[in-house]
């Protein structure tokens, strides 16, 4: 940060791996006004580390622990001195209006903040177009928090931040734009769908996230969404079709034109993958249970014994 600028009192935390095509845009939106910018790299093979260092970020290497655990490691272990922190993905950027809001909160007297954690709205860019419907806008993410007051729930994927204290909503926006292309996006969906299917089956079997978000039908929007995912979603037939109708019709995806149609189909394919992998996991469970109940095979005859009909010596 330039010495002539006042202290922003904000630390940016970014988890990254092979993000060379994105990281210049992401770091470019925070370097110059944030006091501290940390990039936690889990083993990039491209120019991610060199680019981050050239832009002024502090790069820390940490082998991959999982989405929630990696972020919690960063929250717990990084040498953060600022009173406020912002979790920024490597394919996201903070837009100017949001930056000004963050600075107004972080530089005000400590007791004047309306909350300990703040939800931030996010625009999603698909094939170069901003998605304004489809259930992807508004897209609230709890990312800005007072240091020591928030952690992520222990969930394999699509983890949420849990705040110890009040929460509020900001007006400014982030922008999510992965410039690595659809091949990377599809590969990510394949991995995410496996993790999501495992998580859903685990909860179906009575598991619960550690320090996680309560699933409640009459809770806040995130709690209600989690309840639907655990109580209703596993029982839906044709999950991809339901997701398409939800995005394109109920959530007015058709108002996004051709981009909305393409995006709705794309995300519906992801839901189809989750549904198929849930079926596969349940089938594996049943097969293991059947094997456990099957009678033990009869003992094989002793190879040293004389075959039937052989006279004794």
Task: Note whether 147 and 286 are same-domain residues.
Answer: no
Task: Note whether 14 and 146 are same-domain residues.
Answer: yes
Q: Is the pLDDT confidence value at 284 over 80?
A: yes
Task: Note whether 248 and 108 are same-domain residues.
Answer: no
pLDDT value at residue 211: 52
Q: What is the CATH number of the domain that holds 103?
A: 3.90.550.10
| CA dihedral for 94, 121, 127, 90, sign (positive or negative) | positive
Q: 218: left (phi > 0), else alpha (psi -120 to 50), else beta?
A: alpha
pLDDT in tens, 243-257: 999 999 999 999 999
Q: Which pTM value belongs to this model?
A: 0.81
Task: Note whether 19 and 103 are same-domain residues.
Answer: yes
Tell the burial category of 291 from Cβ atoms under 10 Å away from its Cβ (0-12, 13-18, 19+). exposed
154: confidence class by pLDDT, cuts 50, 70, 90: confident
pLDDT value at residue 306: 52
pLDDT value at residue 56: 96
Could you tell me what percent of the chain has a pLDDT over 70?
89
Nearest to 177 by CA among 129, 118, 120: 129
Q: Is the pLDDT confidence value at 139 over 90?
A: yes
Task: Note whether 172 and 54 are same-domain residues.
Answer: yes
With respect to residue 157, please indicate whether it lies within any of the assigned structural domains.
yes
Task: Note whether 149 and 284 are same-domain residues.
Answer: no
pLDDT in tens, 93-105: 999 999 999 999 9
User: What is the β-pairing status of strands 167-176 and 92-94?
Assistant: antiparallel
Of 61-65, 184-188, 236-240, 290-294, the range with the highest mean pLDDT is 61-65
Task: Note whether 56 and 154 are same-domain residues.
Answer: yes
Can you give the residue range of the structural domain that contains 34?
10-176
pLDDT value at residue 313: 45
The answer to whether 31 and 39 have CB atoms below 8 angstroms apart is no
- Concatenated DSSP letters of 164-220: SS-EEEEEEEEEE--TT-HHHHHHHHHHHHHHHHHHHHHHHTT---BT-----TTS-
With respect to residue 15, please indicate whether it lies within any of the assigned structural domains.
yes
5: confidence class by pLDDT, cuts 50, 70, 90: low
Q: What is the mean pLDDT of the chain?
A: 89
Distance CA(203)–CA(211), nearest Å, equals 14
With respect to residue 51, please indicate whether it lies within any of the assigned structural domains.
yes
Residue 240: phi and psi, rounded to 5, are -65, -40
pLDDT value at residue 70: 96
pLDDT in tens, 76-89: 999 999 999 999 99
Q: Is the pLDDT confidence value at 312 over 60?
A: no
Between 209 and 33, the higher pLDDT residue: 33
302: confidence class by pLDDT, cuts 50, 70, 90: low
pLDDT value at residue 298: 72
Distance CA(182)–CA(21), nearest Å, equals 13
The answer to whether 131 and 137 have CB atoms below 8 angstroms apart is yes
Of 146, 176, 206, which residue sits at a domain end? 176
Could you tell me what percent of the chain has a pLDDT over 90?
70
Cite the DSSP H helix spans in 43-123: 48-54, 67-77, 96-106
pLDDT in tens, 39-49: 999 999 999 99
Task: Note whether 106 and 237 are same-domain residues.
Answer: no
Task: Note whether 89 and 142 are same-domain residues.
Answer: yes
Task: Note whether 18 and 161 are same-domain residues.
Answer: yes
Report helix, strand and coil shares of the chain as percent, to nearest 5.
40, 20, 40
Of 176, 192, 207, which residue sits at a domain end? 176
Instruction: Output the CA angle 16-12-114, nearest 5 degrees.
Output: 135
With respect to residue 273, please indicate whether it lies within any of the assigned structural domains.
yes
């Amino acid at each position: 940060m330039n010495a002539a600028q006042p202290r922003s009192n904000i630390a940016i935390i970014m988890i990254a791996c092979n993000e060379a095509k994105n990281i210049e845009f992401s770091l470019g939106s925070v370097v110059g006004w944030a006091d501290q910018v940390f990039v936690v790299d889990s083993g990039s093979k491209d120019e991610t580390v060199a680019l981050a260092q050239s832009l002024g970020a502090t790069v820390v290497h940490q082998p991959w622990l999982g989405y929630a655990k990696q972020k919690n490691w960063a929250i717990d272990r990084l040498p953060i001195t600022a009173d406020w922190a912002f979790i920024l993905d490597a394919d996201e950027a903070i837009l100017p209006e949001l930056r000004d809001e963050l600075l107004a909160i972080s530089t005000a007297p400590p007791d004047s903040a309306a909350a300990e954690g703040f939800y931030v709205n996010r625009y999603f860019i698909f094939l170069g177009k901003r998605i304004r419907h489809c259930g992807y806008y508004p897209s609230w993410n709890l990312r800005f928090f007072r240091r020591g007051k928030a952690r992520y729930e222990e969930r394999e994927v699509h983890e949420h931040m849990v705040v110890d204290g009040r929460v509020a909503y900001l007006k400014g926006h982030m922008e999510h734009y992965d410039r690595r292309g659809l091949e990377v996006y599809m590969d990510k969906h394949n991995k995410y769908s496996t993790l999501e299917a495992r998580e859903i089956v685990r909860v179906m079997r009575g598991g619960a996230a550690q320090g996680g978000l309560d699933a409640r039908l009459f809770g806040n929007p995130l709690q209600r969404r989690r309840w639907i995912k655990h109580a209703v979603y596993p029982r839906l037939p044709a999950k991809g079709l339901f997701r398409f109708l939800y995005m394109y019709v109920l959530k007015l995806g058709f108002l996004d034109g051709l981009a909305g149609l393409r995006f709705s189909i794309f995300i519906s394919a992801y839901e189809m993958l989750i549904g198929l992998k849930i079926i596969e996991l349940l089938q594996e469970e049943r097969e293991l249970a059947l094997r456990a109940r099957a009678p033990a095979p009869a003992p094989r005859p002793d190879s040293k014994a004389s075959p039937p009909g052989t006279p004794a010596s």
